Amino acid sequence: MKIIKRNGSEVPFDINKISAAIAKANAEVAESDRLTERQIMYASANVADLCEAAGHTVSVEEIQDLVEDEIMRLDCFEVARKYIIYRYLQNQKRQKNTTDDQILALIESNNEEVKQENSNKNPTVVSVQRDYMAGEVSKDLTMRNLLPADVVEAHKEGYIHFHDADYFAQHMHNCDLVNLEDMLQNGTVISGTLIEKPHSFSTACNIATQIIAQVASCQYGGQSISLTHLAPFVDVSRQKIRRQVIEEMNMCGIEPSADKLDAVVESRVRDEIRRGVQTIQYQVVTLMTTNGQAPFITVFMYLNEAKNEQEKKDLAVIIEEMLRQRYEGVKNEEGVWITPAFPKLIYVLEPDNVTEDSPYFYLTKLAAKCTAKRMVPDYISEKKMKEYKLSKGEVEGEGDTYTCMGCRSFLTPDRSGNGYDNVSNAGNYEPGKPKYYGRFNQGVVTISLPDVALSSYGDMDKFWEIFEERLELCHRALRCRHERLRGTLSDAAPILWQYGALARLKKGETIDKLLYGGYSTISLGYAGLYECVKYMTGHSHTDKEATPFALAVMQKMNDKCAEWKAAENIDYSLYGTPLESTTYKFAKSLQRRFGIIKGITDKGYITNSYHVHVTEEIDAFQKLSFESEFQRLSPGGAISYVEVPDMQDNLQAVIRVMQYIYDNIMYAELNTKSDYCQVCGFDGEIQVVEDDGKLVWECPSCGNRDQDKMNVARRTCGYIGTQFWNQGRTEEIKDRVLHL
């Protein structure tokens, strides 16, 4: 068994250190108030047992809490008081400099919590370490000087989570929906260099990857681009290639037939599309932004977004090539084809591709094949989205279809109905058309729903009272995010605010007008609906007796967002948080404060957003149907998934699930496995096993446990992770049951 020290490093558990600490406090009280040697050993043994049963690697602070409890349980309150005073004085000494130990530990790769904070960052690489070092300093500054004390305390105690505190000191925001069309059609500026409208598809793809890298270096969340914005450049290349072919044939004295000329031209166009898509695929994987990782980029594939029939056909070819190359994968250092984490792909299911007799069904079959092997693309239902996302003046069924910003954060519909009168000065503004590209999210604060429930001790009236208080705390924390962005000059990130990614503001102009009126969103996140409902009702939220309460909780959060929005003209929106490291943090907080409660706090994780618990037996179609109602009540972003086995030999079943998604839920994905052992060449599922109280990854073929010698890809929070996860998330992965 191991413990986590204050600097984040892991060391073996040592019961002697516990007994020694108790003995020191014991020696400072009168002999009549002291514990006996037997009591000291008894208390130490109890702490050891509790640590063993915790279900996760405990921290020093958790152990000290347990020690206090055990001393008081023996009615030796004077000893407990001395122990608490000693602990307080030591903590005061540490408060004088809160970052040194953490920074030194992460430089030496000893800080386990930081190492596993982000499953797409390699903490042994100096660029990642540099970002983490800056993050530790920023978090310290944020918590000491920039946030109200009660928000900081609530974050530390795990009532709420103030996301991305490591970037808060800077005037940075969360997610973007990049206006790539404006930047390509009307030009942009990158690093002081004017980039004009490209004259070929391959050049457009190259510029797009440069834009992606620049945007990723100026914000901390996900970003999305649409392949539709690249599609017009296919015909630009086609006309250029046609001229070249005619010139070449004339030089050779050849007069080809129209059919032969078209065939040669289209062959070369296809080759250029292949090279352009390869640029995007490989550049995104190999780029490293200033925060030490590949850009968190999502690529949107939506046929009905094309402006004319020729553009739609060209877009279909781009989508086909994107899927083919993603199916192939990328080679690792051993030359083996593996599943890359990025870019995330989203494929829109629509009437033109969802049934066997539809003209683009061949793309859907290719998407199914790719999903079965590489876990992408994910799927958006045009049908359901047009029911849910209604801009001003639109009616259900005739709404808007657009991509999320990154993995799941969705913009609110355009409540202006006219593109916000082009407040961003975009070069591709179309009066009367709803606007999505160029908008962004200001940030996220997440409430722990299980903590609200447990704090009420099952009293329903008390639950709603505490819920109201915690939501207002989240509201004030979100206002801190908003106020931090107010007054930001466009000069802070020219690629975003001056050169078209989000706006074309003047130099020296603030971004304030983009923070109001719905142009940008700000997200109230939530986590652990399952555990909250289970504690308050005794049932899973899938149980008919408990579902109404679950829906009432969701509606309450939506009502608060609507209330704040009406009062402040800021688009607050409810967001199903993609917990990564936070799932472990919240779980540890609940265990520390409320102990181990079967079915509620007995795991090293809590359930993401509204999801059905990962251990609950439910089939794929029931799960998607049940979660669809909750997804609709999470308009600021959410995604559902079904866990499936190897489906490469059963693509018809994958397609059936996709068709069910089209008819029943707006946004969903299929989770498969895609692993490789570099020691023995095993390419099945790498398993999670327990070793001395810690969960580790092991090849079932050769027993390899060296994470540096295996490639594991799992979807844990919308994106695919490839750098492994903390103990809580690893436990959640291990507990997952199949839905198909």
Residues 6+ apart with CB under 8 A from 401: 302, 304, 305, 348, 350, 380, 382, 385, 386, 389
Give me the phi and psi of 331, to 5 degrees please: -85, 135
SS3 of 477-539: the string is HHHHHHHHHCCCEHHHCHHHHCCCCCCCCCCCCECHHHCCCCCCEEEEEEECHHHHHHHHHCC
Which residue type does 389 have? Answer: K
Q: Measured between alpha carbons, how far is 624 from 482 in angstroms, rounded to an integer?
A: 34
| Residue the block writes with tokens 């122990």 | 83
Are the CB atoms for 341 and 332 separated by under 8 Å? no
Which residue type does 19 have? Answer: S
The secondary structure of 78-121 as a DSSP string is HHHHHHHHHHHHHHHHHHT-SSHHHHHHHHTT--HHHHTS-TT-
Q: Measured between alpha carbons, how far is 482 from 473 in angstroms, rounded to an integer?
A: 14
Residues listed for the chain: 740
| Residue the block writes with tokens 């083919």 | 324
Strand 297-301 relative to strand 223-226, pairing: parallel
697 forms beta bridges with 688
Q: Measured between alpha carbons, how far is 108 from 129 in angstroms, rounded to an integer?
A: 10
Q: Measured between alpha carbons, how far is 609 from 603 in angstroms, rounded to an integer?
A: 16
Which residue type does 512 have? Answer: D
Q: Measured between alpha carbons, how far is 131 from 139 in angstroms, rounded to an integer?
A: 12
SS3 of 298-351: the string is EEEECHHHCCCHHHHHHHHHHHHHHHHHHHHCEECCCCCEECCCCCEEEEEECC
Helices 449-456 and 529-537: crossing angle, nearest 10°?
Answer: 20
The dihedral formed by the CA atoms of 102, 104, 109 and 113, expressed in degrees to the nearest 10: 0
| Residue the block writes with tokens 């390699």 | 122
Instruction: Indicate which residues carry an active-site annotation.
Output: 174-175, 405, 407, 409, 441, 575, 580, 718
CA angle 431, 432, 436 (to 5 degrees): 90
Q: Measured between alpha carbons, how far is 269 from 237 in angstroms, rounded to an integer?
A: 7
Q: How far apart are the first and last CA of the chain?
A: 36
Give me the phi and psi of 694, to 5 degrees please: -120, 140
Are the CB atoms for 689 and 376 separated by under 8 Å? no
Which residue type does 410 have? Answer: F
Distances from the Cα of 164 to the Cα of 39, 139, 143, 690, angstroms: 44, 9, 12, 31
Instruction: Give SS3 for 59.
Output: strand
> Token digits for 135?
């993050």
Strand 160-162 relative to strand 441-448, pairing: antiparallel
Distances from the Cα of 362 to the Cα of 100, 349, 673, 688, angstroms: 57, 12, 24, 37
CA angle 349, 360, 641 (to 5 degrees): 25
CA angle 382, 386, 388 (to 5 degrees): 120
Q: Measured between alpha carbons, how far is 738 from 740 in angstroms, rounded to an integer?
A: 6
Which residue type does 266 have? Answer: E
